[in-house]
């Protein structure tokens, strides 16, 4: 899954694809580089980012989705916690929803996904975008992530979302410090208990910066190591900025696992 942020303030690529033409061109380049899915997002979740209302988020996202679909793009995801934005993006041609709140922020998101019959990523997140980075605490980080994702799956089911529509994401860096994120990576196989496909988004995250003492733009090697760890631990999808390089990492890991011919 390639990351396409159409925001002015995302943590590593804010403002780089601010115009519709630039965003569409970059999205197409992600597919050409090896992405199976491109995830289009119009609201930054970095610490201190300003909240974006649904109208502005829709203005950023919908023309890009529409433009990519018109150019023959493959699978498109909309990265939003707002049902209004997700509905507009689906109408414009998106194929799935990536909700980092795990259906907690907008009660209309679950029924929308159920009605449209599209896949949805349910990510683990505590608090909201303003509070999630304030001294996160866990007694057993992975055990709690698994149980809270299980609650998210039950929330989806109660809204009418079929189990086969759901994908889970442990939320590296969301309401987790560097130690928590590293532990989640070490214990990633425990997510198999949920019996759902697993997406992980390690790309350029702050835990890599903490370990390597590198700014966001210099975390390629650290991201590659984290992506390899994800794939070897059983992740089905990885969400990344540097698609060409990470596609090579995934192919190499698949070969090590015996799932790709040399």
Q: What is the pLDDT of residues 68-77, one digit of tens each?
A: 999 999 999 9
| Catalytic-role residue among 239, 244, 251, 257 | 239
Whether the per-residue pLDDT at 34 is higher than 80: the answer is yes
Q: What is the average per-residue pLDDT within 207-229?
A: 97
**How confident is the prediction for the chain on average, in pLDDT?**
93
- pLDDT at res. 11: 46
Active site residue 239: yes
Band the pLDDT of 9: cuts 50, 70, 90. low
| Catalytic-role residue among 58, 60, 196, 205 | 205
- pLDDT at res. 16: 64
> pLDDT by residue (tens digit) across 154-195?
999 999 999 999 999 999 999 999 999 999 999 999 999 999
Whether the per-residue pLDDT at 150 is higher than 90: the answer is yes
- pLDDT at res. 85: 98
Strands 237-238 and 120-123: unpaired
pTM of the model: 0.93
Concatenating the DSSP letter of every residue in 99-123 gives ETTTT-S-TTHHHHHHHHT--EEEE
The region of weakest confidence among 6-10, 140-144, 160-164, 244-248 is: 6-10
Active site residue 205: yes
Band the pLDDT of 46: cuts 50, 70, 90. low
Q: Which CATH class name applies to 2-256?
A: alpha beta
CB 204 within 8 A of CB 219: yes
């Amino acid at each position: 899954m390639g990351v396409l942020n159409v925001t002015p303030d995302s943590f590593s690529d804010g403002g780089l694809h601010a115009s519709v033409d630039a965003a569409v061109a970059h999205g197409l380049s992600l597919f050409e580089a090896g992405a199976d899915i491109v995830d289009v997002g119009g609201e930054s979740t970095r610490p201190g980012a300003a909240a974006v209302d649904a109208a502005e988020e829709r203005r950023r996202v919908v023309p890009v989705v529409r433009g990519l679909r018109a150019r023959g793009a493959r699978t498109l995801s909309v990265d939003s916690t707002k049902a209004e934005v997700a509905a507009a993006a689906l109408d414009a041609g998106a194929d799935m929803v990536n909700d980092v709140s795990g259906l907690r922020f907008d009660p209309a998101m679950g029924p929308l996904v159920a009605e449209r019959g599209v896949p949805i990523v349910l990510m683990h997140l505590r608090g909201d975008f303003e509070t999630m980075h304030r001294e996160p605490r866990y007694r057993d980080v992975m055990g709690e992530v698994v149980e809270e994702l299980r609650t998210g799956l039950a929330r989806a089911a109660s809204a009418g979302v079929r189990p086969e529509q759901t994908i889970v994401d442990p939320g590296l860096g969301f309401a987790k410090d560097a130690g928590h994120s590293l532990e989640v990576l070490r214990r990633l196989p425990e997510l198999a208990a949920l019996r759902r496909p697993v997406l992980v988004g390690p790309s350029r995250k702050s835990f890599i910066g903490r370990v390597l003492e590198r700014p966001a733009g210099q975390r390629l090697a650290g991201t590659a190591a984290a992506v390899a760890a994800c794939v070897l631990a059983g992740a089905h999808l990885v969400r990344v900025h540097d698609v060409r390089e990470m596609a090579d990492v995934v192919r190499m890991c698949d070969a090590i696992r015996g799932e790709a011919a040399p």
